[in-house]
């Protein structure tokens, strides 16, 4: 899919036909967005504007030189954007080129960040006159969405904490799996925030990016620092909850082991009595007693009850 945003009568207009490129002056171009394009669309844009999009391997490299590079009047950016689908987080690489005030983006997925950025652009079409403003809006939208995701994770942590204080049932593995899932989501969110922090830092140091937009980038850097603090706090809360749940599970297991231990000790005296009177010696006077059997049974019962009473007095039960 191809989207062409260009200036038309002091407003930003949109086209999706590749043939329209010949009718639009280069100086009026603002943003060329390729989303899962055909081979023809990609090659047409590359040849017409004399650019080269990063390959899939290059867009997924972790080296800083592959994530951000600058030459003459061109800035090349490779960044991962976080997407949430069916309550799961996933990364999608996006390649961005800034050249002569035009922004070229290449992506395979329909990202909510770009969707929300387009809504902002449509709301004020007269404010956007170049690709630098488009990129700033996309990064600002990404930071806003990261803040929303952190808030959602905080709410889920609060619900887990509330269930921990109110539940009367045993803690099960589903609770620990939920905590593990939140930790993974929080980790992916942190990686996404740090990736945008590195990108903004590189843009601030850039000699190509216009100085008049630097103040916006610096504000976003401050916002990211705040998000990282909230993200760190979420990690600490999850670790606390995990330790608490593990502690409750250990208590539950110890309670079960305690029951078996008490039962074992309580039956030791009766077992001793039964063992004594089960020996095959000739001289055992109790064997001739008329009520010897009943006395043995009574001794067994009393010895078990005595053991349990002793445990009760010691608060071991």
Instruction: Burial-class residue 242 by CB neighbours within 10 Å (0-12, 13-18, 19+).
Output: middle
Across 86-108, average pLDDT: 87
Question: Where is pLDDT greater, at 172 or 162?
Answer: 162
Q: Kindly state whether residues 212 and 277 are assigned to the same domain.
A: no
**Domain-located, residue 257:** no
- pLDDT band at residue 64, thresholds of 50, 70 and 90? low
**Domain-located, residue 32:** yes
pTM equals: 0.77
Q: Kindly state whether residues 161 and 288 are assigned to the same domain.
A: no
**Nearest of 151, 48, 172 to residue 102 by alpha carbon:** 48
**Nearest of 236, 246, 261, 110 to residue 182 by alpha carbon:** 236
Give the model confidence (pLDDT) of 184-231 as tens digits.
Answer: 988 999 999 999 999 999 999 988 899 999 999 999 999 999 999 999
Rounded to a whole number of angstroms, the CA Rg of the chain reads: 35
DSSP state of 76: E
pLDDT on residue 26: 87
Q: Kindly state whether residues 98 and 220 are assigned to the same domain.
A: yes
CATH code for position 113: 3.30.460.20
Token pair for residue 160? 């887990």
Q: What is the domain extent for residue 233? A: 2-250
- pLDDT band at residue 273, thresholds of 50, 70 and 90? confident
Q: Do residues 70 and 87 lie in contact, with contact meaning Cβ atoms separated by under 8 Å?
A: no
- pLDDT band at residue 33, thresholds of 50, 70 and 90? very high
Q: Kindly state whether residues 147 and 294 are assigned to the same domain.
A: no
pLDDT on residue 63: 59
42 pLDDT more than 60? yes
**CA dist., res. 256 & res. 55, Å (int):** 58
**CA dist., res. 235 & res. 93, Å (int):** 25
Task: Indicate the residue among 221, 250, 279 that finishes a domain.
Answer: 250
pLDDT on residue 251: 81
Question: Where is pLDDT greater, at 282 or 3?
Answer: 3
Q: Are strands 29-35 and 102-107 parallel, antiparallel or unpaired?
A: parallel
Q: Kindly state whether residues 53 and 132 are assigned to the same domain.
A: yes
**Nearest of 5, 264, 243, 267 to residue 122 by alpha carbon:** 5
């Amino acid at each position: 899919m191809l989207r062409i945003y260009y200036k038309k009568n002091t407003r930003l207009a949109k086209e999706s036909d590749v043939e329209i490129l010949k009718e639009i002056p280069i100086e009026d171009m603002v943003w060329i967005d390729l989303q899962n394009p055909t081979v023809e669309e990609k090659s047409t844009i590359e040849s017409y504007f004399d650019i080269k999009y990063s390959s899939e391997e290059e867009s997924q490299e972790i080296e800083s030189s592959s994530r951000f590079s600058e030459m003459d009047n061109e800035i090349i950016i490779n960044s991962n954007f976080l997407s949430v689908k069916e309550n799961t987080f996933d990364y999608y690489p996006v390649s961005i080129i800034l050249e002569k005030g035009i922004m070229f983006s290449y992506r395979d997925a329909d990202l909510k960040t770009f969707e929300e950025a387009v809504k902002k652009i449509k709301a004020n079409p007269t404010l956007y006159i170049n690709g630098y403003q488009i990129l700033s809006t996309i990064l600002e939208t990404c930071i806003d969405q990261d803040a929303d995701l952190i808030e959602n994770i905080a709410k889920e942590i609060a619900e887990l904490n509330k269930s921990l204080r109110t539940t009367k049932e045993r803690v099960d593995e589903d609770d620990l799996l939920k905590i593990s899932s939140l930790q993974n989501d929080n980790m992916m969110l942190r990686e996404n925030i740090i990736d945008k922090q590195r990108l903004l830092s590189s843009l601030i140091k850039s000699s190509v990016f216009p100085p008049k937009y630097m103040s916006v980038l610096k504000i976003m850097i401050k916002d990211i620092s705040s998000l990282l603090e909230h993200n760190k706090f979420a990690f600490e809360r999850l670790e606390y909850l995990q330790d608490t749940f593990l502690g409750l599970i250990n208590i539950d297991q110890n309670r079960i082991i305690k029951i078996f231990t008490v039962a074992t000790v309580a039956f030791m005296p009766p077992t001793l009595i039964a063992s004594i009177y089960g020996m095959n010696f000739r001289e055992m006077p109790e064997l001739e007693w008329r009520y010897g059997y009943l006395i043995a049974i009574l001794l067994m019962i009393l010895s078990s009850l005595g053991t349990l009473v002793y445990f009760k007095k010691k608060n071991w039960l």
